[in-house]
Chains A and B, each alone.
Chain A
Amino acid sequence: MNVQLGIQRFNPENDAKPYWQSFLITQVDPAERVLDLLKYVKAHVDGTLTFRHSCAHGVCGSDAMRINNLNRLACKTLVQALARPNTERVPIRVQPLLGLPVVKDLVVDMDPFYEHYRSIIPFLVNEQEAPGRERLQSPEERAIIDDGTKCILCACCTTSCPSFWANGRYVGPAAIVQAHRFIFDSRDTGAAERLAVLDRKTGVWRCRTVFNCTEACPRDIDVTRLIGEVKLAIAQGPRRAGRVR
């Protein structure tokens, strides 16, 4: 199998704007991943190609990018998944995530994304004195926040959201997922503060129920459902909105 790999390149030191560069890679194993192709280009064709990756197994979330016009992790996207039936040459186009400033080639500046993450107080808040051992939680209580705990902060969801493209001050789906994880945590007491942040103009109400985030999540989190539950928590209070609490 051959791959025609198009990569959106941009070097702020030399380029006024991004441009496309194409590489023909032959004899590709269909089970190889887009990350393997990028590593091949960097090692054998153009050492200046810049992209992030770390674990290479869908755990760290550092190689999120736009592949064939969809946000995905390069390390979890197999070439065979992008191939059309009966085609020998697979066209693959790789771009940086949209909505965050491009630092170089496929690397975006994640600072604005992390700022939104920080704004929702992403840690356990509980002023009560800690018990001798851990704060206990029933399996049912844990199940409510289970989905949110799977998030790896790769930004696939936030940068697939039209509301975020249009207005970067919107906290975005990832921050809301993280907020949900603590708002509905039976051990946490900081829900009111987080809901106040998310009730602002830049909060959950900017979600237009487009579902791009749910479709983009490489961890199969029901992102739009979690956002919907936070909306209900603001409107009706976290206890009524939580399914079991």
Chain B
Amino acid sequence: MCSFSVAWLEGLRYAGKQGQWSWVAHRVSGLLTVAFVTTHVLDSTLITFFPKLYKKTIQLFKHPLAAVIEIPLVGAVLYHAVNGLRIAVMDFRPAWWRHQRRSSQVVQVVFALLYVPMALKMGSGVLAGLRGKRS
């Protein structure tokens, strides 16, 4: 056994194939998803207990920087969901292990197809907001 940090470091140094990199991406996107969900839970809790603070927080979320941070966060949630489905399918159909490398690639393609238009839309929203502010 080795320490948690060594496990992470060696995970990155070990020359694993698609499965390993999908796992690393799954972990990272999982952590970001937790951050995303926690923020959301906390800010909605404010409505009940501190309505004024809630309004302020929402104002804060409208800041262009918050909107920019949201773009990779949505990407993380989306990747985690799509790759999670792949892992679930592999667990229920072990005989499909043969397609494991291709399945990671399919996840990347599906993720790109869903995420790129979404990110473009969010990005143009941010830009439009900035332009509106300036004029």
B94 close to A (CB within 8 Å) = yes
Given the interface pairs A68-B15, A166-B4, A224-B97, the reply to whether A209 lies near B91 with Cβ below 8 Å is: yes
Q: Please give me the residue from chain B that is nearest to A164 by CB atom.
A: B1
Query: Is A212 a contact partner of B14 (Cβ separation < 8 A)?
Result: yes
B residues apposed to A, CB below 8 Å: 1-2, 4, 6-7, 10-11, 13-20, 22-23, 26, 87, 90-95, 97-98, 100
Q: Tell me which of A54-62, A181-189, A227-235 binds B.
A: A227-235
- A 149-183 binary contact with B (CB < 8 Å = 1; else 0): 00000000000101011111100000000000000
Contacting A212 at CB < 8 Å: which of B16, B90, B92, B95? B16
A residues apposed to B, CB below 8 Å: 66, 68-70, 98-99, 112, 160, 162, 164-169, 208-212, 214-215, 222, 224-229, 231-232, 243
Given the interface pairs A225-B97, A228-B97, A231-B91, the reply to whether A98 lies near B2 with Cβ below 8 Å is: yes
Cα–Cα, bound, A169→B1 (Å): 8
Cα–Cα, bound, A208→B100 (Å): 13
Cα–Cα, bound, A112→B22 (Å): 28
Contacting B94 at CB < 8 Å: which of A164, A167, A208, A228? A228
Query: Is B97 a contact partner of A162 (Cβ separation < 8 A)?
Result: no
Query: Is B14 a contact partner of A209 (Cβ separation < 8 A)?
Result: no
Query: Is A165 a contact partner of B7 (Cβ separation < 8 A)?
Result: yes
**Residue numbers in A under 8 Å from B90 (CB-CB):** 209, 224, 228
Query: Is A212 a contact partner of B100 (Cβ separation < 8 A)?
Result: no
Cα–Cα, bound, A232→B5 (Å): 32
Query: Is B10 a contact partner of A70 (Cβ separation < 8 A)?
Result: no
Query: Is A98 a contact partner of B10 (Cβ separation < 8 A)?
Result: yes
Q: Please give me the residue from chain B that is nearest to A162 by CB atom.
A: B11
Apart from A70-B14, A227-B94, A229-B94: 18 A-B pairs, beta carbons within 8 A:
A68-B15, A69-B13, A70-B15, A160-B16, A164-B1, A165-B6, A208-B26, A209-B91, A210-B19, A211-B16, A211-B20, A211-B97, A212-B16, A224-B90, A225-B94, A225-B97, A228-B91, A228-B93
